[in-house]
Amino acid sequence: MRAVDALMECLKAEGVDVVFGYPGGANLPTYDAFVDAGIHHVLVRHEAGGGHAAEGYAKVTGKVGVSFGTSGPGATNLVTPIVDAMMDSVPVVFFTGQVRTDLLGTDGFQEADTIGITMPAVKHSFMITDPRELPRIIHEAFHIARTGRPGPVLIDLPMDLSKADIAYERVTDVHLPGYQPRTTGNAKQIKQAARALAAARRPIIYAGGGVVAAGAADELRDLVRTGKFPITCTLMGLGAYPAPDEQWVGMLGMHGTRAANYAMDEADLICAVGARFDDRITGKLSEFAPRAKFIHIDVDPAEISKNIPAHIPIVGDAKQILGKLVDEYRALETDAGRLDPWWQRIHTWQERHPLTYEPGDGHEIKPQSVIEAIYRVTGGDAIVCSDVGQHQMWAAQYYHFPEPRRWVNSGGLGTMGFGLPAAIGAQMGDPERTTVVVTGDGSIQMNIQELATIKQENLPIKVVVLNNGYLGMVRQWQELFWQERYSHVDMNTFGGEEASPDFVKLADAYGIRGVRLTEAASLEDDLRAAFEAEGPAFIDVRVTRDEKVYPMIAPGEPARNMVG
Amino acid sequence: MVDTNEILSLDELEAAGNIHTGRKHVLSILVENKPGVLTRISGLFTRRGFNIDTLSVGPTDDERISRITLTLDGAVHPIDQVTKQLHKLVNVLKIKDLEPSETVARELALFKVSCDGQTRSEIRELAEVFRGKVVDVGRRSIIVEITGERSKIEAFERLVRPYGLVEMIRTGEVAIARGREET
Ligand SMILES: Cc1ncc(C[n+]2csc(CCOP(=O)(O)OP(=O)(O)O)c2C)c(N)n1
């Protein structure tokens, strides 16, 4: 059979049920194979949309997402999702078309050095040079994407080789001598970590996206409840521990709660699980958690001691390690009462500094209140896909995620335009669950063409734009740190107060029901009506224009100096 | 119930990793002989801001595997971070941070030195002292080949520089562990 037909067989063998892509000249053979393959291919409207959709699918299902694009511009359009998947450790296999082998290196039509361009941003990549190797390489790609610290893998397939006739035999194992991710943590280190937790007077568990990726939420909850430890999660880790909850102190970092950040600051022991001490978490690194010792659990050895030297490093799969850690900790029969003074201190912070905002004048809609209304309307049970900006932070602060894989956002790269296409993948991965996009009037316009894909696939996605007529997050920084010198952040191109474009008309043009909400008093009822109506909805909510996200660790400041 | 202070005191814990050793390190790396491997390695160094002092690549007795020897300064980089990042590359099979006292390291250098009738013999004598070889003699220049440890090559360079060093080329170090054990 043709190599591309074998490709389809390999996808089926990997259990792939849906892929996202866009055709072109160099991948014509692949698209010909789709005709008879019986694989659900979703035609997106921009390759980046396809890449992000594959990410959304992967984030919600935990399975490997698959994305296709042609050579040259198709491949370069995939660069953003590839980097995004790398930063957030999302398992996606990207297939790019490539020019014929005799044209390689000659600047042929639509030739781009895809392998070279993407090399620093992939977990691994393969250039196909022998079509007989394609099946084995596909399975290796899935294996690499899915295991260890997940990430993007790219396969570049020259046009002529994709048409070549090969003898296909199902591949049942992969052999990668240079790739053996460690899964079981060192038993002695785990014991040591249990003893440290038992000895700590001011411990805190700091969980990141790695807990979600490892499927370790149950084990995490077990540890937290057993030890009566306070728990905080990163932006990527939301849902790893069920919120709200007595022991949940909220998200930490730049826009986290004061309780979480102060607890990190005063802790004597921080147990980091699947988190990487990124600068949005630590604030000023040299003043981060000055009194703390660190247990660091991560599947990627290179993360350990990268930013913060660990005292007890444990490399391996968080699920296995946390499971053993709970057992070791239980065996010590420690009295949780020793943490009472610590909890009192945390409760004081929580009472003194709850997440809050100034109420509006009764008519204006406060952006935070929109998230609270979405939370109530969906019973806290939705998948929330976010774009990047203020709305993202408000969604993270005011929607409480009871389960992992419900919160889909671009945390590491901060990619505007991620939310809408990611929701397509998310909804297809979990078709029964209400899927909401929380976005801004800036971000939505970066991939708004995917409304056509939503219509085409008839996906009941609810898009909620917190429309402030600004690139709000940039505006906030200009206001706070650049002496209110506003530079190119006003999106109201029609001038004055009139926001643009007219999203209701735009949604209508795509065949999607659009509504505009401007009145606080009826906000929740209006939202409910829009959510309950069948099919997709586009909800343009006019919110307070100059609202700011608080509290905040100003750039370069330590956490204890939070403002707002 | 156990008194937790008897179990462990947090004060005893010491941070591990991210340590600057302050000395030169020679890393011997076995990689799969596949296209792009060297680009991946050099790309990784660029991206993470690691500075390579020398790098040499060559075949091994197994044609599917190449050996890369690279040296870098442990005062500038935490070596554990470098090796851990390298290990993440799928085509990297094995990395050894060679212990200086347990390692034989050699580099080859070619020196083109200007000379006249009189200085030519002086340079020849110097080459002999360094157990070097004169590999080419011209009317106004001479080429000397020196093999040895880095310090030896640098010493020779200092000596011939006053004669007028037209050109010099060095291979970068290759290294192998002493004893029976494989590098
Ligand atoms: C692709 C991309 N370009 C630029 C930025 C920088 N940036 C971060 S937030 C932001 C403003 C986002 O505006 P909007 O989507 O309207 O959301 P808001 O902050 O107003 O809620 C910008 C421009 C980015 N994150 N991504």
Span from the CA of A426 to the centroid of ligand 1 (angstroms): 22
Q: B6 to chain A, minimum CA–CA distance in Å?
A: 9
Which residues share a beta bridge with A407?
A384
Residue A195: per-residue pLDDT:
97
Q: Which of B5, B44, B89 sits opposite A199 (nearest CB)?
A: B5
CA distance A283 to A115: 35
**Cα–Cα nearest to A230, from A278, A196, A264:** A264
Pairing of the two strands A65-69 and A18-21: parallel
> pLDDT per residue over B96-152, tens digit each?
999 888 899 999 999 999 999 899 999 999 999 999 999 999 999 999 999 999 999
Structure tokens given for A30: 């692949």
B1:A119 CB<8 A: no
B92:A178 CB<8 A: yes
Indicate which residue's Cα is closest to atom 4 of ligand 1: A416
Task: Give the dihedral sign, CA B113/B115/B120/B125.
Answer: negative
Which residues share a beta bridge with A75?
none
Specify burial of residue A237 (Cβ count, 10 A radius: 0-12, 13-18, 19+). buried
Is the CB–ligand 1 distance for residue A410 below 6 Å?
Answer: no
* Confidence class for position A496, pLDDT limits 50, 70, 90: low
In the predicted model, is pLDDT for residue B4 greater than 60?
Answer: no
DSSP, residue by residue, A334-355: --GGGGHHHHHHHHHHHHHS-S
Residue B74: per-residue pLDDT:
84
Lowest mean pLDDT among A203-207, A245-249, A488-492: A488-492
CA distance A442 to B13: 48
A311:B91 CB<8 A: no
Which residues share a beta bridge with A313?
A296
> pLDDT per residue over A302-313, tens digit each?
999 999 999 999
The angle subtended at Cα A381 by Cα A375 and Cα A384, nearest 5°, is 70
A178:B17 CB<8 A: no
DSSP, residue by residue, B2-31: --HHHH--GGG---BS-----SEEEEEEEE
- The edge-to-edge listing of strands for the beta sheet with A407-408 is A407-408, A383-386, A435-440, A462-467, A537-542, A513-517
Residues of chain B with CATH 3.30.70.1150: 104-177
Contacts of A358 (CB under 8 A, 6+ apart): A366
* Confidence class for position B76, pLDDT limits 50, 70, 90: confident
Residue B5: per-residue pLDDT:
53
DSSP, residue by residue, A29-63: HHHHHHHHH--EEEE-SSHHHHHHHHHHHHHHHSS
**Cβ atoms of residues B72 and B51 within 8 Å:** yes
- The edge-to-edge listing of strands for the beta sheet with B24-32 is B52-59, B65-73, B24-32, B92-98
CB count in 10 Å sphere of residue A435: 30
Lowest mean pLDDT among A15-29, A334-348, B91-105: B91-105
Domain B10-98, CATH homologous superfamily name and number: ACT domain (3.30.70.260)
Task: Give the dihedral sign, CA A457/A460/A461/A464.
Answer: positive
Span from the CA of A393 to the centroid of ligand 1 (angstroms): 12
Give the CA count within 13 Å in the CB-facing half-sphere of A137: 22
Which residues of chain A have a CB within 8 Å of the CB of B40?
Answer: 119
Please state the atom number of ligand 1 nearest to the C-alpha of residue A415.
Answer: 26
CA distance A537 to A530: 7
* φ, ψ dihedrals at B129, nearest 5°: -60, -35
CA distance A514 to A507: 6
- Using the structure block, give the residue that is written with the tokens 């070596």: B79
Residue A492: per-residue pLDDT:
83
DSSP helix/strand/coil, A562: coil
Residues 282-341 of A with CB under 8 A from B: 293-294, 300-302, 304-306, 309-313, 332-335, 338
Confirm or reject CATH 3.40.50.720 for domain A3-163, answering yes or no: no
Structure tokens given for B43: 């790309």
Q: What is this structure's pTM?
A: 0.95
Report, as an integer, the average pLDDT of B12-34: 88
Structure tokens given for A427: 């909804």
- The answer to whether A136 faces chain B, any CB pair under 8 Å, is no
In the predicted model, is pLDDT for residue B2 greater than 80?
Answer: no
Contacts of A445 (CB under 8 A, 6+ apart): A501
Contacts of A104 (CB under 8 A, 6+ apart): A98, A111, A158
Buried b / exposed e over A515-525, threshold 16 CB at 10 Å, is bbbeebeebbe
Residue A434: per-residue pLDDT:
98
**Cβ atoms of residues A463 and A439 within 8 Å:** yes
Q: What interface predicted TM-score (ipTM) does this complex get?
A: 0.89
Q: Which long-range contacts (CB under 8 A, 24 or more apart) does A339-343 make?
A: A339/A201, A339/A203, A339/A228, A339/A229, A341/A201, A342/A201, A342/A202, A342/A203, A342/A230, A343/A228, A343/A230
Q: What is the mean pLDDT of chain A?
A: 97
Q: B119 to chain A, minimum CA–CA distance in Å?
A: 50
Structure tokens given for B78: 């935490």
CB count in 10 Å sphere of residue B56: 17
Report, as an integer, the average pLDDT of B34-54: 90
CA distance A215 to A274: 11
**Cβ atoms of residues B136 and B142 within 8 Å:** yes
CA distance A184 to A319: 9
**Cβ atoms of residues A72 and A88 within 8 Å:** no
> pLDDT per residue over A542-555, tens digit each?
999 999 999 999 99
> pLDDT per residue over A47-101, tens digit each?
999 999 999 999 999 999 999 999 999 999 999 999 999 999 999 999 999 999 9
Specify burial of residue A344 (Cβ count, 10 A radius: 0-12, 13-18, 19+). exposed
CA distance A419 to A80: 13
**Cβ atoms of residues A211 and A220 within 8 Å:** yes
Report, as an integer, the average pLDDT of A278-283: 93
**Cβ atoms of residues A224 and A247 within 8 Å:** yes
Q: Please report, in angstroms and rounded to a whole number, the separation of the first and last CA atoms in chain A.
A: 64
> pLDDT per residue over A115-148, tens digit each?
999 999 999 999 999 999 999 999 999 999 999 9
Residue B6: per-residue pLDDT:
59
CA distance B5 to A312: 18
**Cα–Cα nearest to A416, from A396, A391, A398:** A391
Fold (CATH) for B104-177: Alpha-Beta Plaits (3.30.70)
Task: Give the dihedral sign, CA A198/A203/A206/A212.
Answer: positive
Residue B99: per-residue pLDDT:
86
Domain covering A367-546: architecture: 3-Layer(aba) Sandwich (3.40)
Which residue type does A326 have? Answer: V
* Confidence class for position A231, pLDDT limits 50, 70, 90: very high
CB count in 10 Å sphere of residue A424: 32
> pLDDT per residue over A526-537, tens digit each?
999 999 999 999
Contacts of A370 (CB under 8 A, 6+ apart): A394, A464, A466, A523, A527, A541, A543
The angle subtended at Cα A549 by Cα A449 and Cα A255, nearest 5°, is 100
Q: Please report, in angstroms and rounded to a whole number, the separation of the first and last CA atoms in chain B.
A: 50
Lowest mean pLDDT among A339-348, B68-77, B119-128: B68-77
Nearest CA in chain A to B3: A334
Span from the CA of A207 to the centroid of ligand 1 (angstroms): 26
Residues of chain A with CATH 3.40.50.970: 3-163, 367-546
Q: B88 to chain A, minimum CA–CA distance in Å?
A: 8
CB count in 10 Å sphere of residue A326: 20
Phi-psi bin for B49: left (phi > 0), alpha (psi -120 to 50), beta? Answer: left
Please state the atom number of ligand 1 nearest to the C-alpha of residue A394.
Answer: 21
Span from the CA of A475 to the centroid of ligand 1 (angstroms): 10
CA distance A28 to A245: 52
**Cβ atoms of residues A359 and A391 within 8 Å:** no
* φ, ψ dihedrals at A141, nearest 5°: -60, -45
Residues of chain B with CATH 3.30.70.260: 10-98
Instruction: Domain A187-353: state its class.
Output: alpha beta
